[in-house]
């Protein structure tokens, strides 16, 4: 077994990470459904010491992200562990467009006086660089959910920062295959393994990765004390799903580019957002910091919320469902989600799966035409 991924390209690492080469051992990472172990070895109790199945997932993601990973029960559990490192009265800066779970967590903490909050536009690079000098936690999400803004991570993560400051990047939309925040200088990179890593809409898990050994141990202690540990089956499924992530991502983001270009000129669409479109506000930054533009498109339908809802009802191949990053394509109106009312009411978020692109377009085009006639 390769001890690290220095000799391998990411596509190969995805296939081999976490396996053992010991003769007679199972080829695939096994399920180890154990809460405790015989005393005297590497581990005694899984909440404190982990399991071989968790460790396979951590090795896989850590190699992709060029750091050391910890698996959690969900993406939000990993995020909460980062916020758990802040002292009372800390200052936090986060994008004005970000995942509603993070916004809710930050608002709840601010209401209890745990921290103060500043919001910035993701493309305000100068503002983010200034924030690094005075903030305890700089929280970035790039591309953002659901407006797909792309931050200049290269400039922001390299900026001088307040001593002890944490620069965290939610890397879920990009995946480690399109962007490695730790290589830019971020303190920690976070993944909702529920999405692209698992890739099959059948698990909840999160992963935090860092190159800072002390920070890794602090996150591990937080996971232990809060019990935010991943399930054994979920970890197994995440590893199995990740084996095909490179193939799934390549297919889906190629289709996403085709669909975004067609949506941009569709008469029923008011505005299409995709980092790969030259019309996108942060397209130039995306070309510089991303290896690929991802699989998520958001677009506004002419006619407001009612017509956007009608589009969701009329798709057939594309499922009207939340979440993203799986083999199947999904669509939803984000402003209908509690906490997302500030978004354009007719904005639809489309997660492109691995179906044939022409079948996807036919389904989408039919739904748009039917909803607007």
DSSP 75-113: HHHHHHHHHTTPPTTEEEEEESS--HHHHHHHHHHHHTT
Q: Pick the last residue of a domain from 242, 274, 298.
A: 242
- CB-based contact 80:190 (threshold 8 Å): no
Q: What value does the mean pLDDT take over residues 214-219?
A: 98
Q: Which of 4-13, 112-121, 142-151 has the lowest mean pLDDT?
A: 4-13
Least confident of 32-36, 87-91, 155-159: 32-36
The confidence score (pLDDT) of residue 22 equals: 86
pLDDT at position 167: 98
- Domain at 72, CATH number: 3.40.640.10
- The string of pLDDT tens digits covering residues 242-293 is 999 999 999 999 999 999 999 999 999 999 999 999 999 999 999 999 999 9
Q: What is each CA distance from 127 to 116, 141, 146, in whole angstroms?
A: 17, 15, 21
* 43 Cβ contact list (under 8 Å, min separation 6): 37, 49, 50, 51
Look at the chain and report how many structural domains it folds into: 2
pLDDT at 347 over 80: yes
* Average pLDDT rounded to a whole number, residues 227-256: 97
Question: In this predicted model, which residue has the larger pLDDT, 373 or 148?
Answer: 148
Model pLDDT, residue 372: 67
User: Rounded to two decimals, what is the model's pTM?
Assistant: 0.95
Place of tokens 């039917």: 370
pLDDT for 247: 98
Regarding whether 133 and 51 lie in a shared domain, the answer is yes
**Same-domain pairing of 202 and 269:** no
Look at residue 213 in the predicted model and tell me its pLDDT.
98
End residue of a domain, out of 242, 272, 306: 242
Q: For residue 233, is pLDDT > 80?
A: yes
Range of the domain at 14: 10-242
Q: Are residues 211 and 227 in the same domain?
A: yes
d(CA 153, CA 180): 10
With vertex at residue 259, the alpha carbon angle to CA 248 and CA 272, rounded to the nearest 5 degrees, is 120
What pLDDT score does 2 carry? 40
pLDDT of the residue at 4:
54
Task: Compute the distance between CA of residue 177 and CA of residue 105 in angstroms, rounded to an integer.
Answer: 28
Just list the catalytic residues: 47, 99, 170, 195
**Residue 268, CB-side half-sphere exposure with 13 Å CA sphere:** 19
Does the pLDDT value for residue 371 go beyond 90? Answer: no
**Quick check: is 195 in a domain?**
yes
Residue 1: pLDDT band (50, 70, 90) is: very low
- pLDDT for 3 equals 46
Q: Is the pLDDT of residue 20 over 80?
A: yes
Whether 140 and 265 map to the same domain: the answer is no
Q: What is the mean pLDDT of residues 7-19?
A: 94
Do 210 and 260 fall into the same domain? Answer: no
Q: Are residues 289 and 210 in the same domain?
A: no
**For the chain, what is the mean pLDDT?**
95
Q: Is the pLDDT of residue 14 over 50?
A: yes
Confidence label for 373 from pLDDT (cuts 50, 70 and 90): low
1 belongs to a structural domain:
no
């Amino acid at each position: 077994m390769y001890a690290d991924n220095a000799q391998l390209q990411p596509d190969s690492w995805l296939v081999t990470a976490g396996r053992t080469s010991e003769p007679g051992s199972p080829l695939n990472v096994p399920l180890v459904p154990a809460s405790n172990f015989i005393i005297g070895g590497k581990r005694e109790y899984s909440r404190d010491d982990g399991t071989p199945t968790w460790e396979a997932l951590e090795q896989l993601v850590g190699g992709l992200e060029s750091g050391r990973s910890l698996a959690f029960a969900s993406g939000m559990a990993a995020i909460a562990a980062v916020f758990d490192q802040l002292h009372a009265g800390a200052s936090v800066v986060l994008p004005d467009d970000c995942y509603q779970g993070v916004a809710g967590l930050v608002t709840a903490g601010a209401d209890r006086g745990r921290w103060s909050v500043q919001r910035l536009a993701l493309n305000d690079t100068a503002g983010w660089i200034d924030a690094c000098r005075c903030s305890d936690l700089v929280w970035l999400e790039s591309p953002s959910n659901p407006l797909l803004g792309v931050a200049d991570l290269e400039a922001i993560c390299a900026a001088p920062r307040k001593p002890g400051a944490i620069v965290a990047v939610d890397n879920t939309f990009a995946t480690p295959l399109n962007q490695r925040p730790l290589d830019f200088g971020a303190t920690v990179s976070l993944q909702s393994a529920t999405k692209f890593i698992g890739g099959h809409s059948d698990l909840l898990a999160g992963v935090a990765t860092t190159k800072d050994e002390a920070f890794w141990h602090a996150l591990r202690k937080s996971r232990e004390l809060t019990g935010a540990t991943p399930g054994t089956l979920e970890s197994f499924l995440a590893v199995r799903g990740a084996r095909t992530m490179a193939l799934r991502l390549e297919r889906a983001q190629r289709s996403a580019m085709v669909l975004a270009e067609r949506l941009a000129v569709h008469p029923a669409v008011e505005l299409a957002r995709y980092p790969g479109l030259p019309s996108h506000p942060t397209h130039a930054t995306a070309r510089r910091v991303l290896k690929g533009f991802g699989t998520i498109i958001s677009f506004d339908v002419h006619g407001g919320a009612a017509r956007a809802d009608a589009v969701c009802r009329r798709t057939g191949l594309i499922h009207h469902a939340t979440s993203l990053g799986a083999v199947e394509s999904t669509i939803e109106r984000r402003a209908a989600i509690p906490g997302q009312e500030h978004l354009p009411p007719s904005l639809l978020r489309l997660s492109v799966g691995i179906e044939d692109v022409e079948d996807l377009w036919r389904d989408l085009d039919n739904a748009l035409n039917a909803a607007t006639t």
